[in-house]
A and B are shown apart, each in its own frame.
Chain A
Amino acid sequence: MVPVVPLIGMHSTTLSRMDIWSCLSNGEKMAKSQIIALNTYGMDGIFTFMDLTVEAEALGAKLEVSKEGIPMIRGGPVQSTSDLKKLKLPDPHKDGRLPVFLEATTIMADQVGSELSVGAFITGPFTLASHIMNPDRLLSEIVLDPFLVHKVVEFATEVTVTYAKALKESGAHMLAILEPMATQQILSTEMFREFASPYIQKIVRGLKHPLILHICGNTISLIEQMMQTGVNALSVDSKVDLLHIKKIVGDQVCILGNIDPVNVLLLGKPTDVEEEVKKCIQKMGRKAYILSSGCEVPLGTPTENIEAMIKSGHSYGKCIKTCYRNTTSHLQAS
């Protein structure tokens, strides 16, 4: 059967009418906003907000918050090997807003964790490295000083594992690794093999907990490598064709995806959403598949579209709620 889990983060504030930044800086508020979305939509799993700046901020990266309350990294703390040596592993219970996400996870797990799966996000090592060093610098150093890149990504991996363990202890049933910088539009397959994949494998080995790997954009040439990292599920963006993916992975790994977040969820009508839902389920069948958005549900998405996604997902996927709301077991069954 097909669980429906759109990647809802800050979109929940459309329903809760809460301020985005106050949710991102207060665990209680974040959990409240997400649970309001859950009670309205009735999806089969919930996550914390998606915020790729939280680990870098805890390491001392300069953060800027937009008028809408969205944080961005402006200036990573590391420009050389000596800067890197000065960095310490953050304490997830103390540093930056890491405790906010731990608290939100704990509250969500306490309040709804017995009924459905609660997930949290961690920033992938290569992407975190790009926040620690600035993206153009990191990408240039792949060619000029690959040894330095390895050192930064290695350190980022330790940060990620430390934080992930704390999220797991806080009650997260599953963790999604967000690795947008490692997409095939940026890295060649050889570069992915050298700078991204080994570090994701380290997380898999270090954590032993259900893991989803999400990479934005087109990832078709990376799918086999993504699968070989040993994660339980791959979350794919709308730029890849699910049939193509299915052909490569079969039932070996669970797939999440891939309703187009911008063209369908944000700009489309409920009937467009329904059409796309039908196509996804036709392509993927009901085994080892979780219907989701290709990436985070954009702010400004009409709530009718998400309602349509969940309703049609449940009816085409013939999801009997009480039995199949455990997204995590779906992840592990594959």
Chain B
Amino acid sequence: MPTKEEKTEIFECLAKAIVDHDPDETLKISREGIKQGVDPVEMIQKGLSTGMKRVSELFERAEYPLPFVLLAAKAMTLAIDQLKPHILKGRAPKPIGKIVLSVVKGDIHELGAKILKPLLETAGFEVHYVGVDVPAETIIEEAERLEADIIALSAFMVTTMIEQDLLIRALKKKGLREKYKVMVGGGPVSDLWCEKIGADGYAPDAISAVEKAKELMKQKRASVE
């Protein structure tokens, strides 16, 4: 079994590899950790997530451009995929919430969604990415099937923003509005738009979307209790 110091070093190296936006290095260290017998769940929570948290802080201070975020997120996704099969049965942490993430109908810009997915996963969410150009009906069906907590909608164009509005209307019509928190994002989307269509939250970028999702989850829990 690795000592406490050895484990701490692995976690730190993983965090650093993520901040260095280096997929190869991240995979190498997580392999090394498995070989040494470090718990993969801890590697995700104390290594990869710590790295991603630092990435978020740097991004917010405008010290970390988007191409770096994109690669850090890629490194994160690859490492999680590599670690997952090693998680012992019953040891997988319970997700803090389920999110159905989609780019709306008529829109094929998925850069934001691609970055957001691994960020939400590291924060502890179970994320189902439905894809691009998805009609509101399909997104709602997916949310129903998966018993999701949050529906997250990305629209990159002014012409497709309206789909966010249509989805909320469709939820209301089906009597499902109260069942889900709906968050909206994408280039032209704003606080004002979010308010106008009656969505639950808006985030200007992928990093702040993670905080918004956590906040919405808290609200949802509070409303159930």
Contacts and interface: CB of A to CB of B under 8 A. Distances in A.
Q: Bound pair: A and B? A: yes
B190 A188 contact: no
A66 B65 contact: no
A153 to B, nearest CB: 14
A24 to B, nearest CB: 13
Interface in A119-145: 135-136, 139-140, 142-144
B205 A185 contact: yes
B158 A136 contact: no
Given A185-B205, A188-B65, A267-B193, A66 B159 contact: yes
B192 A70 contact: no
Contact of A266 (B68, B71, B157, B158): B158
Contacts of B157: 70
Interface string B107-126: 11111001000000000000
A139 B158 contact: no
A185 B67 contact: no
A136 B71 CA distance: 9
B106 A68 contact: yes
A143 B71 contact: yes
A191 interface: yes
A74 B159 contact: no
B19 to A, nearest CB: 13
A136 B160 CA distance: 21
B190 A299 contact: no
**In which size bucket is the chain B interface?**
20 to 34
Contact of A186 (B65, B110, B159, B192): B65
Nearest to B65: A188
Given A299-B158, A299-B159, A140 B108 contact: no
Interface residues of A, number: 32
Contacts of B187: 216-217
A63 to B, nearest CB: 11
B162 to A, nearest CB: 8
B158 A261 contact: yes
Given A68-B106, A143-B68, A267-B193, A221 B159 contact: no
A251 interface: no
Interface string B181-199: 0000001111011001000
A272 to B, nearest CB: 11
30 contacts: A64-B108, A66-B159, A66-B160, A67-B106, A70-B106, A70-B159, A135-B111, A136-B70, A136-B111, A136-B114, A139-B70, A140-B70, A140-B74, A142-B67, A184-B62, A186-B65, A186-B67, A216-B187, A217-B187, A221-B62, A262-B158, A262-B190, A262-B192, A262-B193, A263-B190, A266-B158, A267-B196, A299-B158, A300-B158, A300-B162
Given A143-B71, A191-B65, A298-B159, 16 more contacts: A70-B159, A139-B70, A143-B21, A143-B67, A186-B65, A186-B66, A187-B67, A216-B187, A217-B187, A261-B158, A262-B193, A263-B190, A263-B192, A298-B158, A299-B158, A300-B158
Interface of A: 64, 66-68, 70, 72, 74, 135-136, 139-140, 142-144, 184-188, 191, 216-217, 221, 261-263, 266-267, 296, 298-300
Interface of B: 21, 62, 65-68, 70-71, 74, 106-111, 114, 157-162, 187-190, 192-193, 196, 205
